[in-house]
Structure 1
Amino acid sequence: MVSKLSLRNIEKRYGNVIALHPVSLEVEEGEFLTLLGPSGSGKTTILQILAGLIDADGGEMLIGGKPAQHLPAWERDIGLVFQNYALFPHMTIEENLAFPLKMRRRPAAEIARRVQDVLEVVRLPDIALRFPSELSGGQQQRIALARCAIYKPAIILMDEPLGALDKQLRDHMQIEVRRLHRELGATILYVTHDQDEAMAMSDRICLMNGGRIQQLGAPEDMYFSPNSLFSAQFFGISNVLPGTVAAIDGDAAIIDCGQIGRFRTDIRKEFPLATGRTVDLIVRPESGRLFIEAEVAKQSAENMMQVEVEEIVLSGSVRRHHLRAADGSAFVTTHLTSGDKGWLKPGEPAFVAWAARHCFAIPR
C-alpha cells in the first residue's frame, strides 16, 4: 500500500543550527496524525516544509507516491488551516468558501453545489450570506476547515488551529474536527503542543524533541508504553522514583529506591533490566491508592510507600493529592471527585500503594 505522504530523511539547518535532523515518516490515506512536541522540537519546521513555505536541505518527500519536494506550493495539492482562521473579512461565508474553487476555474453550478454541501458537513447550512465578523470563534474555525476541504486536497495541514479558543470551546471543537475528519475522509497532519489535544484527536501521535522523532504510535501507546523518560513525562503527570535494580524475579524486577523502600515492577520487553542497572521507576498518578495507617493491615498491594500530604487540589471531576516521601521525593495521586470534602488534610501522614503491573522502570 502506497502511503499518502512519505518523508525520507528530510532535514533542515539554519547556519550551524540544526532545526530538523534527518526525519522519516509515513502517513496513510485518511489518517489523522499529530505532530506534538515542545517549542523548538521541529514539528512546525516539518509542516512548513510540507506546505512549501521553506525548502528542506536534504531528503525526499512523496505525496501519493510521487516526488513533491521540488514542486511549488500551489502544485502540491495541500490545504492549510491556520490558528487565526485567515478568512477574508470583506467576503461573505459563501464567497470565502467559493474562492478556492473559483481560483481553480470550476463551473458555477458545481461551486454552488459544493458550497452548500460543505456547509451541511460543518453543520452551518444557514450562514452562507453572513460575514466572518458575524460568527463565533468556533464557527469561524469550522468555516476555515470547510474552505480548506472544499477543493478536496490530498493532505490537510492544521497549524494549532484551536490555540486561540477558550478551553470549553476548544474541547468542543476537538470533537467537531474529529467528526469532520471522519465525514470528509481527509488525510490530516495536525500540529500542536497540547498533549491532551493530541491524545483526544489523533489516530497516531508523532512526538518530537530536539529536531528528532522521539516516539511514534497510537495515543494509548504513548501514554501507557512510553519509550523514554522524556515521553513518560511529556504525557500527563508522571511520578519518577530513581533507583537501582536489586533483583530479577521471573518477569518482574525489584527496584531499590533507597530510603523510601523497594518496589516490584513487571519487566516490559522494550525495557530489558539487569541487576545493578540504574533506572527511573514511573508510576502514573491514577495508579496510586491512598489510605491511612489504620488501613495498612487490610491492604494487599505489591508496593506501598509512606508519605505526607502536602496539598490537595480539586479540579472539577478529579481530586489531586500532592505528597512528599521520606527522602523528599514528590508524588502525586489523582482520584475521581466524590461528594464529600475529602478525608485527608495537608500535613497528615498517609500511605500510597500501587500494583507491579501499573508501574515500569526505564533504564537510565
Structure 2
Amino acid sequence: MKIKKIFLLPVFFILLTLSVQSQNVNMLESLPDSVYSGKQGKLHVQGVALDQANRCIYFSFTDRLIKMDLSGKLIGSVTGFVGHLGDLDFNTEDGKIYGSLEYKNDAIGKGIRKSLGVQNNNENGFYIAIFDGSRIVRPNMDAEKEDLLRTIYIKEAVKDYEAEVKTGNGTKPHRFACSGIDGVAFAPAIGSPNSDKKYLYVAYGVYGDTDRDDNDHQVLLKYDIANWNKLAQPLLQDKLHHSGPARPSEKYFIKTGSTNYGIQNLAYDTFTGNFFAAVYRGTKAQFPNYDLFVIDAHKMPVKAQISSGGQHIKVKTLSLLQAGPKDENTGIRGWHFKWGATGLCPIGDGLFYVSHNKKYKDGMQESTIYKYKWVGDAQNSFIRVK
C-alpha cells in the first residue's frame, strides 16, 4: 500500500500541473484580441489594468477610472478627480487596483484643472490610489463620497519634487528632475525573480529639460505594502493628507537618457521576469531617445555614483536588458515603439495588451487595447497578434 501511495503522489502532481497549465492556456485564448474604451472626455488615457479572474479591465483617463467587461461594456466608473490619475496595476494578492495620483502646480496640474474648470489649491501631493474594484458597480461614482478608494502618501517623491538643486547652469527646481510619479507595477525583489513576495514599484515622472544634466536617469521606488492598510486614508482633495511610508524600502536609478516626463507605463512581466518601461521619448541629441526600455530584473542592483546638486551621491542602479538595438555612443539599449506610453499590460505567455490612444477634432479621447506578442530582437520589440 505504501509503495502505491509513493508512486501515485508524483503522478497526482503531474496531472495537477497539466490541469493548471491547461486552464491558463484556455484563459489566455479566451481573452479578446482588442477592447475599445469608448470616448471618455477630453483628457487622455494613462494606463490599463486587467483583472483576469473577474474578466474585467480598467482604464485610467486622467480624471476618471473606467471599469469594463471584456466585450467593451461599461460596468462602472469613478469620477471627480481634480488631479492626475496615471498608470495602473492590478494586485492579484488583494484584488485591488493601484494607480498613481498627482496633485501639483506645474504645467500638467494647471492644465488639468483648467480643463476641468476647477481652482488650484496650491498644494503638492503624490499618492498611490487603491481602488476596490468590486465596489465599482455603476457609472460616475464619486471618488470622495463613496467608500471605494483609499490613498497612500508618497513622501519621497514630494520631497524630491519640492527640492531645489544646483546644476551646471545654476539652480533648478526638482531633485533628479522629479515631476511626480506615474508608472506603477507589482513585482518580486529585483535580482530574485522567483520569489513569491511582491513589492510595489513606483516610477518617477522626470522633466525632460535639455538645459540640465541631472535628468538622464529613471527613478524607481520600491515599497513593501504589508502595513499599508493602517496608513491608507480616504481621498479629500481640498485637504490632502500626509499618511504614508516615511521612506521607500529601496530607491533605484536606471540610465536611459532623458525622457519627457519619465516612465509613463511600468509593467512587470512574469513570463520574462523583466520590467517594461514605456516613455515619451526625450529630445537630447546625445542620446538615442528610445520609446521603450526593458529593465533586467534578474540582475542584482549595482552600487554607483551619480551627480545631483553639484555633488556625487551613492545610489543603486539597475541594468537595461542586453537585447535589441544598442546606441554605440552611450551603450544604452531600447526600442522605438509608437505605442505603450498610454497603456502596457502583460497578460501571460509573452502577450501584452497595448493601448492605442486617439484624439478627435472635438477633443474627445479614447483608447483601444490590442493584443501584442513580445519579440525583443534587433528589429522588433512587439508584434501585434491578429
Note whether the superposition's TM-score is higher than 0.5. no
Question: Larger helix proportion, structure 1 or 2?
Answer: 1
What is the TM-score normalised by the length of structure 2? 0.23
How high is the TM-score relative to the length of structure 1? Answer: 0.24
Structure holding more strand per residue: 2
